[in-house]
């Protein structure tokens, strides 16, 4: 499993180039970034070279489509999605992800119908480029009532939704934080087929009651109470070999230098990978 980084939790990173270099310097193997921007800045050949010389792959891109509001906003994003998919594919990336909020101000059933159709269209466009769509279930309890109507937040509900979308190549973005806040076990991971997992996030949580864990209260791997060794072992056991990317969302941005934050991240990965013995 590749050690991966997102920019979240790394402070004031100034550019993709800086992000890539720091990731490489501290032994990371995957970066989640905007492939289209990178290609536009460097050309496909240049972007490939930049990644290769730093020993990195693109773990996943974000879904550049607004599927949560109006039909107009949704449609507007589709040309961009095709371009983003083309750029990602050119860089060898096969994963694109989006998160799913656990409550909504829309009617829950109607919004589920709309979102099913919209995400299917996204999956179809991505699929034309060999890219899979990962859906991130979001577990923190406070978000389940943050908006008017409950939506979905569990692994099983999300798998059922993936079946409803019904397109090959749709799977989970599996984040340790949401697994933890759902009360997930290692056995829950081992029940999955590896092709159900499109991407993985790894984050840690503070030692507070699970129901009080805040979405933007995340800790670096190894600095909290989540059984990340078990998490990694479970993924390893079912055959997952892709990227495991940290995404540290916090209430206020960290003020340390990006380099020291990447170094701290490395220490976290070292600790939990060692504990997992993988």
Smallest distance, a second copy to C-beta of residue 36, A: 11
Structure tokens at 94: 């096969």
Task: Map tokens 């409803």 to a residue.
Answer: 164
Pick between residue 167 and residue 270 the one whose CB is nearest to a second copy. 167
Smallest distance, a second copy to C-beta of residue 229, A: 22
Smallest distance, a second copy to C-beta of residue 10, A: 31
Pick between residue 86 and residue 259 the one whose CB is nearest to a second copy. 86
Please check whether residue 258 is in contact with residue 13, taking contact to mean a CB–CB distance below 8 angstroms.
Answer: yes
What phi and psi, each to the nearest 5 degrees, are found at residue 31? Answer: -130, 140
Separation between Cα atoms, residue 247 and residue 234, nearest integer Å: 20
Pick between residue 124 and residue 233 the one whose CB is nearest to a second copy. 124
Which residues form the interface with a second copy (CB under 8 A)? Answer: 74-76, 78-79, 81-83, 86, 89, 104, 107-114, 116-117, 120-121, 124-125, 127-129, 149-152, 157, 160-161, 163-164, 166-168, 193-195, 239
Smallest distance, a second copy to C-beta of residue 88, A: 12
Separation between Cα atoms, residue 206 and residue 234, nearest integer Å: 22
Pick between residue 7 and residue 141 the one whose CB is nearest to a second copy. 141
Residue 199's DSSP bridge partners are 173
Alpha helices in the chain (DSSP H): 16-25, 35-53, 71-90, 108-128, 141-144, 155-165, 176-181, 186-190, 228-237, 258-276
Pick between residue 59 and residue 171 the one whose CB is nearest to a second copy. 171
């Amino acid at each position: 499993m590749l050690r991966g980084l997102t920019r979240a939790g790394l402070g004031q990173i100034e550019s993709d180039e800086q992000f890539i270099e720091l990731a490489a310097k501290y032994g990371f193997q995957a970066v989640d970034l905007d492939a289209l921007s990178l290609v536009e800045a460097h050309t496909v050949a240049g972007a490939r070279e930049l990644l290769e010389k730093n020993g990195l792959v693109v773990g996943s891109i974000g879904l550049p489509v607004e599927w949560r509001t109006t039909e107009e906003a949704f449609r507007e994003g589709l040309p961009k999605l095709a371009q983003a998919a083309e750029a990602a594919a050119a860089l060898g990336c096969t994963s694109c992800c989006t998160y799913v909020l656990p409550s909504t101000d829309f009617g829950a059933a109607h919004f589920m119908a709309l979102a099913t159709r919209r995400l299917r269209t996204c999956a179809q466009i991505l699929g034309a480029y060999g890219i899979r769509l990962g859906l991130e279930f979001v577990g923190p309890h406070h978000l389940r009532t943050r908006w008017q109507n409950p939506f979905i937040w569990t692994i099983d509900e999300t798998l059922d939704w993936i079946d409803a979308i019904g397109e090959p190549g749709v799977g989970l973005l599996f984040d340790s934080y949401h697994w933890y806040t759902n009360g997930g076990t290692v056995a829950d991971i081992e029940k999955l087929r590896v092709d159900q997992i499109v991407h993985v996030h790894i984050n840690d949580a503070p030692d507070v009651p699970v129901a009080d864990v805040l979405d933007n209260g995340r800790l670096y791997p190894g600095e909290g109470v989540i059984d990340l060794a078990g998490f990694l072992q479970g993924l390893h056991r079912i055959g997952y070999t892709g990227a495991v990317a940290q995404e540290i969302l916090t209430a206020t941005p960290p003020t340390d230098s990006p380099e020291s934050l990447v170094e701290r991240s490395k220490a976290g990965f070292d600790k939990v990978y060692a504990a997992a013995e993988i």
